[in-house]
Amino acid sequence: MPYIQFLGAAGTVTGSKHLINTAHDSSSKHGFQILIDCGLFQGQKEWRERNWQDTPVPAREIDAVVLTHAHLDHCGWIPRLVKEGFRGPIYATQPTIDLCSVVLPDSGHLQEEDAAFYNKRKVSKHDPALPLYSLKEAQDCQRFFKPVAVEQTTQLSPELSFRFVRAAHILGSCMVEITLQTNGRNRRLFFTGDIGRVRDSLIAPGKVVHSGPQENETADLLVMESTYGNRQHPHTDPRPELARLIRETAQRGGSVIVPAFAVERTQKFLFILKRLMETGQIPRLPVYCDSPMAIRAVEIFLKHTEEYTERAAELIKTYGSPIEWPGFTFALTAEQSKKINESHYPSIIVSSSGMVTGGRILHHMAQRLPDPKNLVIFIGFQAPGTRGAIIKSGAPEVKIFGDFVPIRAQVAALEQFSDHADPPEMLEWLRTFKNQPGATYLVHGEPAAAAQLRDRMKKELGWNVQVAEYMERVEVK
């Protein structure tokens, strides 16, 4: 019997990895095996340690990877999979491949930095500490990527084909429809990846990609994300509040620090800042975009015009490339990055990683958190256990580079910038399904979020919904 096995993002929001085994022939060892996504575990140590474990299926026995999008929690384990012997194709859309060419080497670089840090401090049990994968290994795995157009059917084996449909989550993001032939009939397996905002308007400002995930789907078995399963996005326009927070910080001589994913969230936020400046709602403070990936990510964004919403297209037409805006500096070298730290005039610093787990944002946080004049604004999801979640929770201090840094700066969070649908939006989208799936498994959510969404889907839709468990196998009947 064919089966799906949840190798990650079960009981947590990171490490997305779902195995499909067609197991077509009981005499053979295994059937055709593909992974939907191959993400990195992030956040709590218990989860991060899983990045170091072998896959339950030897990597060389996996035939292909189908990748939904370029966020690290969906693609960040690919270089490790290749390091362990995977040699098959990795199917993704062209924008996803372009973004991965930036995101994965950067992740390799951070892995190397982490290992070097542990070796310097000699705080690792392992001597010497090694990176999960290196920058070079991440670059090398690019040759396995194969571009696939949205809505094109690709036959992977005699019994299994797939098609990407729009997820409206980030640039290039897609959901995966799998058609699997078993016992003489076709079964449709549907993997949502991350689900974008269903309604695009003032409540999700600055959205770059197509508005709304693909509607009118059919599925016999649905595997669905539940990141925001127990929360609801505010329905107010966040820009007036953002403008007020920035004005107040500038008036007291402080700086604004914004941890943001270098891909998508940073570009979206820069355009929002630009418009607020051009319309006189905030002063023209210097803006430092301090992420080595940001310039390349901007270039990728400007290239993929086919992905824009009308509003994004209009913004880009009006203001052009952020790289050329006066007053906006894109830091490239470590030296340029350090210069930002030496500046004591009010400024806005947008830097990654978005959950303060690594990267240059650490230096900016260590430098600016102790001063009450400064402001930290979170504009993205903060997974439990990350520094971002600790700072956002109102903790008095946070550990950065092995030292405790007092948190005296003002801390704010604007949830409206989320690229994930919330429960009302998810239900609205699910109601467009042409049929009721025989079973739905919720993944990519903290236990409380997944449980609450499960209950709501059962009650409001009457669907058969379960929360997927780590390593659980589900037969496709």
Chain residues binding Zn ion by CB under 5 A are 71, 194
> 7, 10, 83: which is closest to 445 by C-alpha?
10
Q: Residue 262 Cβ, how far from Zn ion at the closest point, in Å?
A: 13
Cβ distance to Zn ion smaller for residue 227 or 337: 227
Residue number with the shortest CB distance to Zn ion?
Answer: 71
Query: Does residue 104 contact residue 141 with C-beta atoms inside 8 Å?
Result: yes
Q: Which amino acid appears at position 220 of this protein?
A: D
* Exposure b/e, 454-464, CB count within 10 A at least 16 = b: bebbeeeeebe
Q: What are the angstrom distances between the C-alpha of 334 and each of 15, 246, 359?
A: 29, 26, 11
Cβ distance to Zn ion smaller for residue 63 or 264: 264
Q: What's the rounded Cα separation, in Å, for the pair 324 and 301? A: 15
Q: 20 is written with which tokens?
A: 């499909």
198: how many CB neighbours lie within 10 A of its CB?
21
Cα-based angle 419, 425, 429 (whole degrees, multiple of 5)? 105
Query: Does residue 375 contact residue 410 with C-beta atoms inside 8 Å?
Result: yes
Query: Does residue 143 contact residue 121 with C-beta atoms inside 8 Å?
Result: no
Q: Residue 430 Cβ, how far from Zn ion at the closest point, in Å?
A: 19
Q: Residue 19 Cβ, how far from Zn ion at the closest point, in Å?
A: 20
Q: DSSP states of 176-195 as a string?
A: EEEEEEETTEEEEEEE--S-
